[in-house]
Amino acid sequence: MLWRRLLAEFLGSAFLAAVVIGSGIAAQNLSPGNVGLELFENAAATATGLFAIILMFGPISGGHFNPVVSFVDAGFGGLKWKDAAAYLPFQVVGCIFGAIVANMMFSEAAVSISAKHRATGPHWLSEVVATVGLMLVIFALARTGRSHIAPAAVGAYIGAAYFFTSSTSFANPAIAVGRMFSNSFAGIAPSSVPSFISAQIVGGVVAFGLIKGLYPGMTQAEAADVIEPHLRGETDLETS
């Protein structure tokens, strides 16, 4: 049933936003004024948290939590286009909900719109690069039958990309929207979000072309294992 996968995408997206934003607030409280250490703490929590969240919800929905992943997967036939479209609002609303919960866990206002402007040329390029790299990791593993290590690989890549990109590697339109709702270390000003989302879409399109060139002949069955092998229809649910 689709509702089961949608619930998994909502909950996974909510946990992802809570991890990213909550660890950012904690880092500010634990290491005030030390931006390098704050970033390390935020990156470490996000990388390990993402690993765990994909393990939790991946067997149900694939553990996308990211519209770019869902639509690139649909492009390869691993997910129906209508299902990818259905995933999107649950991913976005999940990230918004997770941001609100993270704020409340640290006694902040439930909603505080971020004032952190990130819309610059280098940030835009960073988001293109971060998104391309993320897609390559995910789909290379699916194409070569190694999706079982995708949760660890995705977490490791995002943790590394916090440091090798100036944007700290959002690589996800849903999390970009969610992070607007916290005026904290991990936040992003609403005026910067369109730039980030456009870069992420470009990154997804570029990655789709690169994957087709690097890994020709990707089958629907291989794409269906993105990010992790999961339930895909009524028969799967009945036998689970």
Residue 209 included in any domain: yes
The structure's pTM equals 0.93
Residue 6 included in any domain: yes
Residue 71 included in any domain: yes
CA–CA distance, 74 with 127 (Å, rounded to integer)? 21
Residue 155 included in any domain: yes
Residue 123 included in any domain: yes
Q: Domain containing 70 — which CATH number?
A: 1.20.1080.10
CA–CA distance, 186 with 179 (Å, rounded to integer)? 7
Q: What digits encode the pLDDT tens for the residues 207-218?
A: 999 999 999 988
Residue 119 included in any domain: yes
Q: Report the percentage of the chain scoring pLDDT > 90.
A: 91
CA–CA distance, 106 with 179 (Å, rounded to integer)? 15
Amino acid making up residue 14 = A
* Domain span at 118: 2-235
Contacts of 140 (CB under 8 A, 6+ apart): 211, 214, 215
Residue 240 included in any domain: no
Number of domains comprising the chain: 1
CA–CA distance, 139 with 142 (Å, rounded to integer)? 5
Q: What digits encode the pLDDT tens for the residues 22-70?
A: 999 999 999 999 999 999 999 999 999 999 999 999 999 999 999 999 9
